[in-house]
Structure 1
Amino acid sequence: MIDLVEFVTSTLSDIGAPVVFQAYPAGSTPPAQYITFHEYHTGPELEAADVEITTERLINLNVWSKSNYTSLVNSVRKTLEKAGFERTFEFDAPYMDGDSHFNKVMRFKFIDEY
């Protein structure tokens, strides 16, 4: 199985925004745009004779932005799909007074060899 944290981080390294696993970017003030992600499910995708052949790995990815994030969201989607991910879900999280960034929530599936 691949190191999914390294794979997602390196795949999105040229996207133009920091990509951070399960945290916010370092520093006292978050950048204008950044991406956070985590793996929220791992389980058998294909089994034969009770042996796992491939594994379904699901990630939750958040695009954070102080302004319109449409271009960044489209770049993330295209880049991850090109790397073998399948987008399964996407929505705009509600913006609340006091929030510093808008938030697009995206979920992707990756099939990995066990």
Structure 2
Amino acid sequence: MINSEIKSTLDNIAIPVSFQTSKSEKYPYITFFTYLDSPTLYSDDREIITGYFIQIDIWSKTDYTSLAREVEENMLAANFIKLRYFDLYEKDTKVYHKVMRFLKEVEK
């Protein structure tokens, strides 16, 4: 459910988007996964709201600033909550890596 929502949220971005691993050998591309699926609200010992903590990774050989802005705009428009972002550089592959973490709360 959440994977298809993420995929459809990022569908209008003109680069490949896939779950966990890329099928593309060309840069840039985006991968995503859920790193935590946890109750965020209980009532009478029952889970009322589930929190899906999502990580989106942008992989690029060049500046990805405008791409990250586009991802953020799409995710926020789909009611995902921004948690944190950070930049990495993968020395072994010489790839720039943007990590973007979001939360989506869904009623059960």
- Band of TM-score, shorter chain: over 0.9
Structure 2 unaligned runs (5+)? none
Q: CA RMSD in A?
A: 1.1
**Identical counterparts, % of pairs:** 35
Bigger share in strand: 2
2:55 corresponds to 1:72: no
Checking the alignment, whether the CA contact within 8 Å between 2:89 and 2:95 is kept in structure 1 is no
Q: Aligned equivalents of 1:25 and 1:75: distance in 2?
A: 21
Partner residue in 2 for 1:99? 93
**How many residues end up aligned between the 2 structures?**
108
User: With structure 1 as the length reference, what TM-score do the two structures score?
Assistant: 0.89
Checking the alignment, whether the CA contact within 8 Å between 1:58 and 1:108 is kept in structure 2 is yes
Letter in 2 for 1:83: A
Of 14, 17, 32, which aligns to 1:16?
A: 14
Three-state SS of the structure 2 residue aligned to 1:109 is strand
Three-state SS of the structure 1 residue aligned to 2:70 is helix
Partner residue in 2 for 1:55? 50
User: With structure 2 as the length reference, what TM-score do the two structures score?
Assistant: 0.94
Structure 1 unaligned runs (5+)? none
Letter in 1 for 2:104: F
2:37 corresponds to 1:39: no
Partner residue in 2 for 1:113? 107
Q: Aligned equivalents of 1:95 and 1:70: distance in 2?
A: 17
Of 61, 84, 89, which aligns to 1:89?
A: 84
Larger displacement relative to structure 2 (99-108 or 54-63) = 99-108
